[in-house]
Chains A and B, each alone.
Chain A
């Protein structure tokens, strides 16, 4: 292909995606996927899981269509269309009867992309085959089945790529075909080949192997691909422009899987993407760039990947890792800030807190350096991690639970003479809970020492230690079996403590009065309610409130650290502390009575790391408050900020975007995700959705087209403070 053909192809692909994101019918579904899975289930449903998966994937990948467009440079499409009435009935019945038995990949993971690129599919086949042979002397048992299934699946992937390459050849796409064929088994030797391999494995994962909403992280692409890119440049195989066009194609194709709509809050509304209808629904693919590296101190690919971000795409969601270390590339960072102000799908993470955050959970520094996150904002150590437990919850709820009985009577629970006693009660209850969870996990880890592999799937195959040790990832294979410890709704929690302190323990309100007023939902207690509403609030850079956020967090983190210490006197579990709350501030709040911060019964709590809606007074105050939290002990969480268009307009706005974000990160902020949207515009979009098809917003860790969200989700988004 001539250089200009690459650019032209990328442009055509972009046009296709922009049209698709605006106009794909909301009823569109992966009909063929469901039909093939059904047939595979009927053929292989009776087999033990490893063979069921191996044969099932082979069947699906041998029989699926291979759509190709004349401008494809990276191969890998699938059938996604409006079903006929009959097909729709079939899909519904398929799910009603729970016939999804062949595929088990749940996604929410990062695969071992470094190794995939280093050894290719053949490398995995060799590994599995040699481990299989080592065990041949044993009785025909679970171990051999496990390898047989894995080898079948790997060969299925390999043959699918070859089949696609052949189809492309027949369609006249000679170079794309050769590029794909070259990576069907062997490790990629070029930048283009590597992108092709990642893209096609991603499609297999999302479209066929994934059981439901399989959000997947495609790894630290700049770090993984730099050596191949440099070699290509030196050999004259590629130019920066051609590489850019390939990235364009790659980015664009990440959107193919998306269905229009939104899943977190739409619950059954016509705009609910529903995983049964569109397997990938609006879940994100994440691409990670920037940050510290074990391999490269300077990386020109970071800038290249950054500059090709298209603010009109929902996918991929770019995870940009900011660092103050020598890897920091100020030009790439400026590009990111400019894209942020254009409302692109970017989540910014801070290596300066994240890496210590992982290390505080017992992760070695060299592993922590390679961290990624997967949808929505869940932290991981790629290929070395697996979740085996969960603890914690809403801190706001933990406090309310110590004040009143949450049994509907909301009766007073205890008398407290000081605020410290309330802190103490929260701590005691949390410690008991954490101890129970950690002990259960310890028991499981012990049992897993003898566990045999029950199951194979793509996630297991591409995770370190699984094929090597003949153990599945969640039963002893991985280096870091992890417990996610949730610390949610810190804003409301801090506000509750601040109001109790100023109004009750240092003010003229008795605790009885406060609890009675809460029980009655503030009826007839407007003066007290007003006092509670005007008490110090988290998010205003007011230490009177922020100190409680910090104290609560540190108190709970101390307990986690103490309970992580096992019998041998050293930590023996890996708690990844996260503040992720998705949209749970709505559901959790709905179950709770009024709270001393002036919250109404059933009203939402604070959203993720944000202050309670309506309290923010300025973006700098908000960022300062949030950055006081002890993030070097935390591994992830989301800070959603909604900025007015005026604030970030033009070159001056881009500069403001950079200064605000950078200062926040330098002060110890952990993460930020930006939506640029004015309330007036959002309201107008609700009235005339047809005119706002391009209006994108960040939901939890992904993007959605605002007008495709249901009304309650839209209103919840509008409730986020607009910061001007």
Chain B
């Protein structure tokens, strides 16, 4: 079967140990307000329009049958409500201002590509990371790819929100060297509000991973007002130390980097409701977690 992929990033060094290739799978069941990969949320490819790259040549206009593109006073106007994401216009945009990422690959083809950088992984203690979106939404493809990676001697990491059925996790675990996941908020209401989903299944899955003896890298994307309170951090630490064998957490700083991505997809940059994490808040969170007995990994 083929996987729907929206990006393959070679030489990534923020998604697990060493030099890695990160495979971003399409589709996500959460809608985190601060999402840095909004283009991965939809399971279907979307037309992205980068206004800053557009030369205003107008060639795309005649190739859009839906009339979604017009030109007024030399300025390109793109009406998303009329766009059906067919991708036709992107075939004519030589400035690459209209982009339509529609990559589908078999697990074999993907792993063949991943193996091209094996020498770099081996030297650096790196490997491959599956991210998203939520990679488990393409469970069968994911597990097939993980198995092939394992057979080829590649270190594997999966970055998941863990809002997935426990069985999927059980099935994948034997082929995963490292799970990377967030603990966004302990209060369920707050979690729902920020991500659109409850945290119950997520917490249950964290316990399951612990029972399975899996390696986990836990991250807290620090969102002011959502999870930087003493109360939340205390609850996080207590949960981990009482209910699981995990003791390390890497707090992450959030940046409002994705604005142009949101703009290109015609989406609101919803992070605007949140602030980027300042150094002071970051240090404060780290200190509190340490005080509650957690080993803090500083994010560089």
Which residues of chain A have a CB within 8 Å of any CB of chain B? Answer: 522, 526-527, 529-530, 533, 541, 598, 617-621, 624, 647, 650, 652, 655-656, 659-660, 662-663, 666-667
Asked if B124 and A530 make an inter-chain contact with CB atoms under 8 angstroms apart, the answer reads: no
User: Which residues of chain B (1-48) have a CB below 8 Å from chain A?
Assistant: 9-11, 13, 19
* Segment among B86-94, B167-175, B290-298 that sits at the interface with chain A: B86-94
Partner of A620, one of B59, B92, B120: B120
Partner of B10, one of A526, A529, A620: A620
* B300 / chain A contacts, CB cutoff of 8 Å: 650, 652
Complex Cα–Cα for A647 and B19 (A): 11
Asked if B124 and A656 make an inter-chain contact with CB atoms under 8 angstroms apart, the answer reads: yes
In the complex, whether B117 has a CB less than 8 A from a CB of chain A is yes
* A655 / chain B contacts, CB cutoff of 8 Å: 124
Asked if B94 and A667 make an inter-chain contact with CB atoms under 8 angstroms apart, the answer reads: no
In the complex, whether B116 has a CB less than 8 A from a CB of chain A is yes
Partner of A621, one of B13, B19, B91, B116: B116
Residue of A nearest to B57 (CB): A526
Asked if B117 and A526 make an inter-chain contact with CB atoms under 8 angstroms apart, the answer reads: no
* B19 / chain A contacts, CB cutoff of 8 Å: 620, 656, 659-660
By Cβ-Cβ distance, the 6 closest A-B pairs, closest first, are A618-B10, A659-B123, A663-B119, A620-B117, A620-B11, A526-B92
Extra 6 A-B pairs, beta carbons < 8 Å, given A663-B120, A666-B119: A522-B94, A530-B91, A620-B19, A621-B116, A624-B116, A663-B123
Residue of B nearest to A667 (CB): B119
Partner of B93, one of A530, A617, A656: A530
Complex Cα–Cα for A344 and B93 (A): 40
Asked if B94 and A526 make an inter-chain contact with CB atoms under 8 angstroms apart, the answer reads: yes
Main secondary structure of the interface of A (DSSP, over half): helix
* B10 / chain A contacts, CB cutoff of 8 Å: 617-621
* B123 / chain A contacts, CB cutoff of 8 Å: 659, 662-663
Complex Cα–Cα for A522 and B10 (A): 33
* A662 / chain B contacts, CB cutoff of 8 Å: 123
CB distance from B25 to the nearest CB of A (A): 18
* A526 / chain B contacts, CB cutoff of 8 Å: 59, 92, 94
Complex Cα–Cα for A530 and B57 (A): 14
Which residues of chain B have a CB within 8 Å of any CB of chain A? Answer: 9-11, 13, 19, 59, 91-94, 116-117, 119-120, 123-124, 300
* A621 / chain B contacts, CB cutoff of 8 Å: 10, 116
CB distance from A620 to the nearest CB of B (A): 5
| A-B contact list, 17 entries, CB within 8 Å | A526-B94, A529-B94, A530-B91, A530-B92, A541-B116, A619-B11, A620-B11, A620-B116, A647-B13, A655-B124, A656-B124, A659-B123, A660-B11, A662-B123, A663-B119, A663-B120, A663-B123
* A522 / chain B contacts, CB cutoff of 8 Å: 94
Q: How many A-B residue pairs have CB under 8 A?
A: 52
CB distance from B191 to the nearest CB of A (A): 32
Residue of A nearest to B63 (CB): A527
CB distance from A526 to the nearest CB of B (A): 5
Partner of B117, one of A617, A624, A656, A666: A624
* A530 / chain B contacts, CB cutoff of 8 Å: 91-94
Asked if A527 and B91 make an inter-chain contact with CB atoms under 8 angstroms apart, the answer reads: yes
Quick one: which of B9, B11, B92 has the most chain A CB within 10 A? B11
CB distance from A514 to the nearest CB of B (A): 16
CB distance from A602 to the nearest CB of B (A): 16
* A647 / chain B contacts, CB cutoff of 8 Å: 11, 13
Given known pairs A655-B124, A662-B123, the reply for A618 and B11 (CB within 8 Å) is yes
Complex Cα–Cα for A621 and B21 (A): 11
Complex Cα–Cα for A136 and B236 (A): 97
CB distance from A600 to the nearest CB of B (A): 10
Residue of B nearest to A663 (CB): B119
Complex Cα–Cα for A533 and B90 (A): 12
Complex Cα–Cα for A338 and B43 (A): 43
* A659 / chain B contacts, CB cutoff of 8 Å: 19, 120, 123-124
* A618 / chain B contacts, CB cutoff of 8 Å: 9-11
Quick one: which of A530, A660, A666 has the most chain B CB within 10 A? A530
CB distance from B225 to the nearest CB of A (A): 29
Residue of B nearest to A529 (CB): B94
* A663 / chain B contacts, CB cutoff of 8 Å: 119-120, 123
Complex Cα–Cα for A522 and B92 (A): 12
Residue of B nearest to A649 (CB): B300
* A598 / chain B contacts, CB cutoff of 8 Å: 94
Complex Cα–Cα for A652 and B18 (A): 9
Complex Cα–Cα for A522 and B95 (A): 13
CB distance from A509 to the nearest CB of B (A): 14
CB distance from B147 to the nearest CB of A (A): 24
Complex Cα–Cα for A652 and B119 (A): 18
CB distance from B166 to the nearest CB of A (A): 35
Complex Cα–Cα for A533 and B92 (A): 11
CB distance from B6 to the nearest CB of A (A): 14
Residue of B nearest to A534 (CB): B91
Asked if B124 and A527 make an inter-chain contact with CB atoms under 8 angstroms apart, the answer reads: no
CB distance from A337 to the nearest CB of B (A): 12
* A666 / chain B contacts, CB cutoff of 8 Å: 119
Residue of B nearest to A653 (CB): B13
* B117 / chain A contacts, CB cutoff of 8 Å: 620, 624
CB distance from B16 to the nearest CB of A (A): 13
Residue of A nearest to B91 (CB): A530
Complex Cα–Cα for A530 and B10 (A): 24
Residue of A nearest to B18 (CB): A659
CB distance from B242 to the nearest CB of A (A): 34
Complex Cα–Cα for A655 and B93 (A): 40
* A529 / chain B contacts, CB cutoff of 8 Å: 94
Complex Cα–Cα for A619 and B9 (A): 11
Complex Cα–Cα for A530 and B63 (A): 13
Complex Cα–Cα for A660 and B10 (A): 12
CB distance from B281 to the nearest CB of A (A): 22
CB distance from A544 to the nearest CB of B (A): 13
* B13 / chain A contacts, CB cutoff of 8 Å: 647, 652, 656
Complex Cα–Cα for A57 and B120 (A): 54
Given known pairs A617-B10, A650-B300, the reply for A660 and B120 (CB within 8 Å) is yes
Complex Cα–Cα for A620 and B93 (A): 28
CB distance from A676 to the nearest CB of B (A): 15
Residue of B nearest to A619 (CB): B11
Residue of A nearest to B117 (CB): A620
Complex Cα–Cα for A618 and B9 (A): 8
Complex Cα–Cα for A659 and B11 (A): 11
CB distance from B154 to the nearest CB of A (A): 14
Complex Cα–Cα for A530 and B92 (A): 6
Complex Cα–Cα for A547 and B94 (A): 25
CB distance from A328 to the nearest CB of B (A): 15
* B120 / chain A contacts, CB cutoff of 8 Å: 620, 659-660, 663
* A620 / chain B contacts, CB cutoff of 8 Å: 10-11, 19, 116-117, 120
Complex Cα–Cα for A652 and B13 (A): 10
* B94 / chain A contacts, CB cutoff of 8 Å: 522, 526, 529-530, 533, 598
* A617 / chain B contacts, CB cutoff of 8 Å: 10
Complex Cα–Cα for A46 and B94 (A): 64
* A652 / chain B contacts, CB cutoff of 8 Å: 13, 300
Residue of B nearest to A655 (CB): B124
CB distance from A115 to the nearest CB of B (A): 41
CB distance from A459 to the nearest CB of B (A): 42
* B92 / chain A contacts, CB cutoff of 8 Å: 526-527, 530
Complex Cα–Cα for A618 and B116 (A): 12
* B116 / chain A contacts, CB cutoff of 8 Å: 541, 620-621, 624
Residue of A nearest to B122 (CB): A663
Residue of A nearest to B13 (CB): A656
Complex Cα–Cα for A533 and B19 (A): 29
* A656 / chain B contacts, CB cutoff of 8 Å: 13, 19, 124
Complex Cα–Cα for A652 and B124 (A): 10
CB distance from B56 to the nearest CB of A (A): 14
Complex Cα–Cα for A556 and B171 (A): 54
